Structures are given as structure tokens and as C-alpha cells.
Amino acid sequence: MPSNKQRRQAAQRHLQRQLERRAELARKRRRNLLVAVTAAAVVLVVGAVLLVTTLGGDDDGDTTATDPTTSAPLADTPVAPVVNPDGTVTCDFARDGSDTDVGLPPTPEATPASGTTALAVATSAGDMTFTLDRAKAPCAAASFSYLASVGFFDGSPCHREVNQPEFGVLQCGDPTGTGQGGPGYRFYEEIPEGTAYPRGTIAMANSGAPGSTGSQFFLCFVDTQLPPSYTPVGTVDEAGLAVLDQIAAAGNDGSFEPSPGGGAPNTPVTITSMTVLQ
């Protein structure tokens, strides 16, 4: 029969094993919790990336169902514009490796960086006037007005609409209507300090990669909360905003969900013509 001392020692060993098992269980719980938290963080990051990249362009809008505007890889990576001594800028319009070739904007080595350009935009839903700001986005304004002058946008559909309280846009500028098309070249983003996307903003879409801006653009019909990653190239006039409000009221078909990407407009919108006024 064990003595009292032996019973005490056995009890102490049993207690020690219990304490060790409890400590091991606690370590496993902490490890599992860390794994779960890390996985949740990854999901949140991916979700945020999808929200941003859905406006990727030629790509306004990085693509597939989650990113409806991705396009062919860049053949050359364009560089940021350079300000010349006379106040003009040198823009780098780099071929993107696609079969599309509508030429390049003229005199990219001396692109005007002051004043505005007005475009008359006729659509199947109503007429608009775009005002492009050459001071804020000289390369984007030069590309936009050049493409309008050669009829690049004529007959092209607006392929995507997003209807959310803080993210309301109509995306256009791809003649193929797939979200994959562009002008055959790309150029670098122009993001002034303090860039935001209030109602009436025209901004250039991109794929999320530097130097991936092409022809696709989006029109904000609400104050749109996006990171400052897209070139704000101009504004839509009040008549154009009224047209956009009518389009927005009809909603979209949700074909780009479940990502926060909206879908094709329920009211089909085609740019019938775009004319440079000045």
C-alpha cells in the first residue's frame, strides 16, 4: 500500500500533467485563432483589391467577371510625363502589343498643359458635353481629344455601370464592349495631389498597374469614394448629369457580381459620336 508521501507525489505528478495539457490546449487555441485572423485579413485585402481593380481599364475597370476591363499585357511600359522648360509636357504613349492601331496623339513631346478642350458627346440616351482639363491631366486630355477626333469612340457602348451610394459610375471607352479593348497604346497615370472623384468627374480607367491607362473612362454620377489611382481628366456638364441620372435610375443587370462591379446598364448606352469643339 502506498504511503502518504507517495500518494502526495502521485497527486502532484497528476496535477503537473493536467497543467501541461491545459497549457498545450491554450497554445493550440492561440495558434488556431491566429490562423483564423490571418485568413480573415487576407480575405479583406483581396476584397479591397477587387473593389479597386474593378475599375481597371484596357483595362475603369482591371479583367473577367471580377475585373471586367483587363486587356492584353503591355508590350512596353510607359513612363510618367516630363514637364518641359516651356510649360508643355512630354507624354509617353507606348504600344500595348495588341492588333489595334489608330495612331498616336500628335506631338507627344510637346503636349499642351494649360487650358481646356470641350467635346460634344451624343449618346443613345441623350447628349452631353465633356470639358477636359489639360492643366491637370495633359496626356490624358491629349489622348482623349485625339481619339475623339479620329472617331475612335463613335458607335461604342458603355459596357459597365455601378450603382452604390458611394460608388456610382458609368464606364465607357471600349469599342469592343467587352471591357478588354483599348486604342493600341497605354500611358502613365496623372494623379494630382488631393485627387477625389465627386459627382460629374470624368476619370480614366486602368488595370491597377502603373502606366496602364488607355481609352476607357468612367463618369461619376454620385460622389464616388475610390483611392486616388485614376486620372481625373475632366467634368460632365449639367445636361450630361441629367442623362446619367436617368441611366442610373434604371440600374444594371448585375452581370459583374458578386464582386462589387455592377453590370451592364439596364438602359443600353451607345456613344453615337464624339466631336472636338475647341
Helix (H, G, I), strand (E, B) or coil at 108: helix
**Domain range enclosing 37:** 1-53
Contact in structure between 134 and 112 (CB atoms under 8 Å):
yes
- DSSP H or E run through 76: none
Same domain as 229, residue 105: yes
Please state the domain count of the chain.
2
Question: 118: closest CA among 251, 235, 242, 240?
Answer: 235
Tell me, rounded to whole angstroms, the distance of Cα 154 from its chain centroid. Answer: 23
Q: Last residue of a domain, which of 11, 38, 53?
A: 53
Contact in structure between 50 and 260 (CB atoms under 8 Å):
yes
Cell matching residue 6: 507517495
252-265 confidence digits (pLDDT tens): 999 876 665 799 99
Specify the pTM. 0.77
Average pLDDT of the chain is 82
- DSSP H or E run through 133: strand 126-133
91-139 confidence digits (pLDDT tens): 999 999 899 999 999 999 999 999 999 999 999 999 999 999 999 999 9
Evaluate if residue 5 carries a pLDDT over 80: no
Identify the pLDDT of residue 32: 56
Mean pLDDT calculated for residue range 236-244: 98
CATH number of 151's domain: 2.40.100.10
Question: 139: closest CA among 185, 195, 70, 208?
Answer: 185
Evaluate if residue 19 carries a pLDDT over 80: no
Higher-pLDDT residue of 31 and 220 is: 220
Same domain as 130, residue 88: yes
Same domain as 215, residue 149: yes
